[in-house]
Structure 1
């Protein structure tokens, strides 16, 4: 677990062994089973999560029970309800496990501590936040301006490993189409 985290961090910054040991000391581990919630709407969110193993989804269910998927997170990805984490408000999304999952957990407090004490970690978290914002912005623009076939093709291009792990109903919800439409898109 620790070597995977180190590789993840060192894609963006370099740490000495001592620095990495200190960074690692600010994380804890969490294991969840398939269908178990990591975050539930209305709860307080105090942590950011890095996926070591498994697959999760962040989503909102509307008044009619329709699921709107915001994000999937598999190995080497971060996930949380960032609105709740940053502003201390109640969670507005749910996050649950599509597969059994193992996570590294860092509290908001420990993340801030690392950022204040280590310029490199501040840069790391800033770069990760910016990348996440850019990805979200691109996703919204694709949902607004591209047809279902283009959204499906983009998902395949960006996430080829994820396709085999996702139930078709979740993929359909993510790209904003019905399960029947997804079947037509995937078998033109």
Structure 2
């Protein structure tokens, strides 16, 4: 379990085994069942979650009850409601499990502590934040400038294994199309 996190760090920084064990001590391990929430709208957000296994979705529900999926997270990905996490606000998004999921949880206090104690950990989180910012920008641009077919094809290209794991209505919501439109795109493929 901790090897996944260690590999994640080592993709970006060099870390001594003793330092990694100390860092790991600032995380807590949790298991969630399918359909359980990591984060629920209106609640305080205590943790950033590093997925060891499983799949989760982050979504916003508008005033009409329509679900807008922001993103997914799989093994080796991080996810939370970042505004609520960083600024001690109540969550505006939900994050729930599409599969049974195991996570390592890092509180903002522990993240700040580790970043103060280890320059390379601060560097790691800055690089992860940069990548997340670019991914979110690309997602917004895709929604604004691509048609449904282009968004679907891009998703298949970037996340082929995820496309097989997601229920069709969830994938349709992520792409901003109806289930019927997704079925037509699926047949065209």
Q: TM-score, normalised by structure 1?
A: 0.99
Aligned pairs for 1:74-153 (under 5 A) are: 74-153=74-153
Taking the aligned partners of 1:21 and 1:38, their CA distance within structure 2 comes to 25
Aligned-pair Cα RMSD in Å: 0.6
Taking the aligned partners of 2:76 and 2:161, their CA distance within structure 1 comes to 13
Secondary structure of residue in 2 paired with 1:70: strand
Q: TM-score, normalised by structure 2?
A: 0.98
Tell me, which stretches of 5 or more residues in structure 1 are unaligned? none
Taking the aligned partners of 1:157 and 1:149, their CA distance within structure 2 comes to 12
Q: Find runs of 4+ consecutive structure 1 residues off by over 4 angstroms.
A: none
Offset from partner CA, 1:11-44 (integer Å, 9 cap, x none): 0001011111111111110100000111110101
Taking the aligned partners of 2:43 and 2:169, their CA distance within structure 1 comes to 26
Report what 1:186 is aligned to: 186
Shift of 1:168: 0.3
Shift of 1:88: 1.1
Taking the aligned partners of 2:59 and 2:51, their CA distance within structure 1 comes to 17
Offset from partner CA, 1:28-85 (integer Å, 9 cap, x none): 1010000011111010102100000000000011122111000100101000000101
Shift of 1:186: 1.4
Taking the aligned partners of 1:62 and 1:171, their CA distance within structure 2 comes to 18
Tell me, which stretches of 5 or more residues in structure 2 are unaligned? none
